[in-house]
Amino acid sequence: MARVTVRMLPGGETRTVEAERVSDLIRSLGLDDESYVILRDGKPLLPGDRLRDGETIVVVRVLSGG
Amino acid sequence: MAKCSLCGAPAVAEVRYARLRLCREHFLEFVERKVERAVREHHMIRRGEKVVAAISGGKDSATLAGVLARLRERLGFGLVLAHIDLGIGEYSVRSRRASERLADELGLPLLVLSVEELLGDGVPRLAMKARRPACSVCGIVKRYLLNALAIEARADRVATGHNADDIAAYALKAFLTQNLEDLRKQKPATPSIEGLAVSRVKPLYSVYEKESYLYALLRGLPFYHEECPHARLTSLDFHLKEMINKLESRHPGIKLQLVRGLARNADRYPGEDWEPVPCRHCGLISYGGECSFCRLTSRVKGEPLGGKVRGKIRSLIEGSHI
């Protein structure tokens, strides 16, 4: 299990999450895969990709508001 | 790490409804083909036409301009960009900057219309004076200025960055509230009305919002990804988008079916009862003889400003050679 720092965009709120893969991260944040893009160093990750302990991940809400 | 279904390179995107995982190059090609297919199928742009792409500075405009810039040689059309500076504080400053960077990056001409310069107030002050919601005033002003710009620039089409998520949410809202005329408005292309209105096209209508973000990111296009301070994440539109995406997660492809079905069937829904006629003040499209922009400016500024604004836009265009 990796412990990662998550930065949420837009907004910039940060939190710490424990998850093994990107799909677990999305689930533990209560999000759905269609509305978010997960980035490591600016590059998109797929749901099956493994997370690395101590890294920072950016979670981007791609849906624009009403 | 997942591999691209087409070439085996590391995958950066998963397109579940097509059962594909794609590398950067194949994903960019996938989106470009999807847009080209939509443009051809719905006759959005014909050879020799002049297209004004409306860009806000966000991801969808970056993708719209980026894909159209690539398609213009193959499809044989002219392309200029237009940005409306809404005068919404820092949000508008950054959006305008992103639009200028995008135009530079793509080597395309850009015309900026500033609401504050044209009307003396930005959208928030206009809305306060009109005692109307900012989003409603913003919609009236943007629609009017883009149409006026396209008419004065003698353009054949105005292209907007509405994506599949926008259209699906709008369609569902129209159905839930039984405003069936609004379903008809979701056509990928509306025709021009000589002298009154320029054809509107939505080349991204079948591109998912997530695909649009990924395209702009992976193509390295400049965009500004912040929410307008007037947008509400508690709005019905936003909740509908979330709901449709939850459905899409469980039933991949349902959103595409909805927007493609609507594109085929939009004409089956009822149209407005009124015939469009020229506004008695400015001469552009109205229903009933006074356009909503002239009505709004009469209320807020004491006189209908459509005609004057058209004149200012004409001068800007003459000075810019677009």
Q: Please check whether residue B25 lies inside any domain of the structure.
A: no
Q: What percent of chain B has pLDDT over 90?
A: 92
C-alpha B90/C-alpha B280 separation (Å) is 36
Say if the ipTM goes beyond 0.90. yes
> In this complex, which of A42, A44, A66 lies closest to B236 when CB atoms are compared?
A66
Tell me if B231 is assigned to some domain.
Answer: yes
Mean pLDDT in chain B? 95
Residue of A44, A60, A64 lying closest to B231 (CB–CB):
A64
Cβ–Cβ under 8 Å, residues B58 and B95? yes
Give the residue extent of every domain in chain A.
2-61
- Cβ within 8 Å, pair B58-A64: yes
User: In this predicted structure, what is the pLDDT of residue B131?
Assistant: 95
How far is residue A66's CA from residue B141's CA, in Å, rounded to a whole number? 17
User: How many structural domains comprise chain B?
Assistant: 1
Report whether pLDDT(B271) > 90: no
| B209: nearest CB among A32, A49, A62 | A62
Q: Report the pLDDT value the prediction gives residue B110, as an integer from 0 to 100.
A: 97
A60 interfaces chain B, CB cutoff of 8 Å: yes
| Nearest C-alpha in B relative to A64 | B227
How far apart (Å, rounded) are the C-alpha atoms in residues B21 and B41?
A: 26
CATH architecture of the domain A2-61 equals Roll (3.10)
Q: Is A49 on the interface with B (CB under 8 A)?
A: yes
The span from the CA of B35 to the CA of B19, in Å, is 19
pLDDT of residue A66: 56
Domain hosting residue B125, numbered range: 42-273+307-320
- The closest CB to that of A34, out of B210, B218, B231, belongs to B210
Residue B268: which residues within 8 A CB-CB, separation 6 or more? none
CA distances from B319 to B31, B147, B153, B292, B312 (A): 36, 19, 12, 28, 11
Determine whether the interchain pair B210/A10 forms a contact, defined as Cβ–Cβ distance below 8 Å.
Answer: no
Give the strand pairing for A56-61 and A2-9: parallel
pLDDT at B125 over 90: yes
Judge whether residue B104 has pLDDT over 90: yes
For position B160, which CATH number holds? 3.40.50.620
Cβ within 8 Å of residue B322, ≥6 positions away: B80, B109, B111, B153
Q: Could you tell me if B2 and B21 are in contact, meaning their C-beta atoms sit under 8 angstroms apart?
A: yes
- Give the pLDDT of residue B322: 75
CA distance B230 to chain A (A): 9
Which pLDDT value is given to residue B52?
98
Residues of chain A with Cβ-Cβ distance to B220 below 8 Å are: none
SS3 state at A50 = strand
Asked if A9's CB is within 8 angstroms of B249's CB, the reply is no
Type of residue found at B15:
V
Using the Cβ of A32 and the Cβ atoms of chain B, whether some distance falls under 8 Å is answered with: yes
Q: Encode pLDDT of B244-270 as tens digits.
A: 999 999 999 999 999 999 999 999 999
Q: Are B154 and B321 in contact (CB under 8 A)?
A: no
pLDDT of B233 strictly over 80: no
pLDDT of residue B33: 98
